[in-house]
Structure 1
């Protein structure tokens, strides 16, 4: 699975909105998160269409979350900007023509990704804590080690 820049920026912008005490302009969000402004505008449009954020027009306009942060998952945000979470050759696993063990593997992958992203809310991220089952994955042996190099992934030159 690959997390796009668009998805990461969308999550970062959304988490910023959790702690905002007022609506934020796209310029404020772009500056605070270091997101290219034009790119952020497209992201915010997608998030608005998906009902993750709402926008207000006018002098005091800007963006805010469309519903409480504990009800918005990371999966909601990623789907809003990138579509389905797991694709195999540009298809959802459930739409694939193949069957058998390989299809079961792709379905298991999708279930695993969903288990992490659908059970982690924007509120969790804003609070600086992950759900227990996600935190356990982070703390599992080898989670921070790249399997092809045995280097820790928290070094500047890592690739997953």
Structure 2
């Protein structure tokens, strides 16, 4: 899975809102500054999140943005879908809808399995979980693997590339 900068910024912005939920509304520039995100980009992302019903906004001196839902009710998958659409797609097609032939006939099943794996973490992990540093068991189990934090090189290449 490749996480775009826009999606990363959206999740981080939502986490900032979740962490400051008790403080009321936050200005877009406060969120952007706290997360070191370009202000104009954050404002655009907040508009997308507002359209998706994840954040709400209010104009005026006391206005700003806040989560529309409790942080424990917003999964990382919700934020990702609001910004990038489905968690997994192959050239814009849902994994279950691809049609392969020959040696690739079973590849669809691998893509569907990948989507299930992503869902198992991203739908189970809420903004509240991340802010609290208390990831769900499925994520903790994956992180306990010896190579969890190791990027693997292409076959036949060393780690340097």
TM-score by length of 2: 0.89
Asked if structure 1 preserves the Cα contact closer than 8 Å seen for 2:125 and 2:135, the reply is yes
Q: Return the match for 1:131 from 136, 150, 153.
A: 136
Q: Aligned pairs, how many?
A: 153
Which sections of structure 2, spanning at least 5 residues, go unmatched? none
2:91 alignment partner in structure 1: 89
**Whole-Å separation in 1 of the counterparts to 2:41 and 2:47:** 10
User: Secondary structure of 2:29's partner?
Assistant: helix
Residue 65 (structure 1) shift: 0.4
User: What do the CA deviations read for 1:1-29 (whole angstroms, capped 9, x no partner)?
Assistant: 10011111111110111121110000111
RMSD over aligned Cα, in angstroms? 1.8
Q: Which has the larger radius of gyration?
A: 2
User: Secondary structure of 1:48's partner?
Assistant: helix
Instruction: Decide which moves more: 91-100 or 120-129.
Output: 91-100
1:3 alignment partner in structure 2: 3
User: Secondary structure of 1:114's partner?
Assistant: helix
Which sections of structure 1, spanning at least 5 residues, go unmatched? 152-157
Asked if structure 1 preserves the Cα contact closer than 8 Å seen for 2:99 and 2:108, the reply is no
TM-score by length of 1: 0.89
2:15 alignment partner in structure 1: 15
Residue 143 (structure 1) shift: 1.2
Distance 1:22 1:9, change over 3 A: same
